[in-house]
Amino acid sequence: MTQPMTEMKTFNIYLLRHGKTQGAPALYGHTDIEVSLATQHSICNALSKEGLGFTAIESSPLKRCQVLAQQLVDDCPELALNVTDNWKETHFGDLDGVPFEEASSDWAKFDAFWRDPANNVLPNAEPLEQFYNRISKAWESFIQTLDQDTLIVCHGGTIRMILANVLQLDCANPSLYSTLQIGHQTLTHIQLTQADKNYLRVCMIGKPLI
């Protein structure tokens, strides 16, 4: 007796990195820095012109993401919004949010971190493997219950960890950070097809919106 064919469904997941922040150059992880309202409006306008058709939004709770997500919902009230810690950026420990110009004595630590982040954890920061596992757990839970096209407003590090999971990349490989560009206000597109199992396809990485 033949088995009935599994119904296939395909959903689009859009990963939107927040806009350029207003602070001095620094590593901004959990530091709750803002994006100018003018930039947030520009991103909203550019996103609307893409005509993506998503019906739900998930967002990191940090202002640089949540303000944008809320603006999108204000402009289109039928969108469902879920603000969750799941998509937060990594925490850079004692140097999180400290302007580089004020941390000259720590420059060797920054340099080692950029060259090999997995093996040069910043003081009291979230280790890279822990960050990857945290985001992977959130991502795998998310795709198990996905039932509509969804936009996730989040962070560059978060998007890199999702891509590492989907593409089965080594999150400890420094090239994932030095070579893969995920700029501010850029869009990454992943498709999920649900059939006998979940099939993921990366359709676009880091498309600038403005």
Residue of 18, 58, 126, 155 marked catalytic: 18
Q: What angle do CA 177, 178, 180 make, to 5 degrees?
A: 65
| Two structure tokens written together for 201 | 């396809």
- Catalytic site residue 30? no
* Separation in Å, CA 85 to CA 89, 90, 95, 97, 139: 9, 11, 21, 19, 12
Burial degree of 107 (CB within 10 A; 0-12, 13-18, 19+): exposed
Residue of 58, 89, 126, 155 marked catalytic: 89
Is 64 annotated in some ligand binding site?
A: yes
Spatial separation of the C-alpha atoms in residues 32 and 62, rounded to whole Å: 6
Answer yes or no: are the C-beta atoms of 174 and 38 closer than 8 Å. no
- Catalytic site residue 155? no
* Separation in Å, CA 138 to CA 33, 109, 145: 23, 29, 11
> Which residues are annotated binding-site positions?
64
> Which residues are annotated binding-site positions for substrate?
64
Active site residues: 18, 89
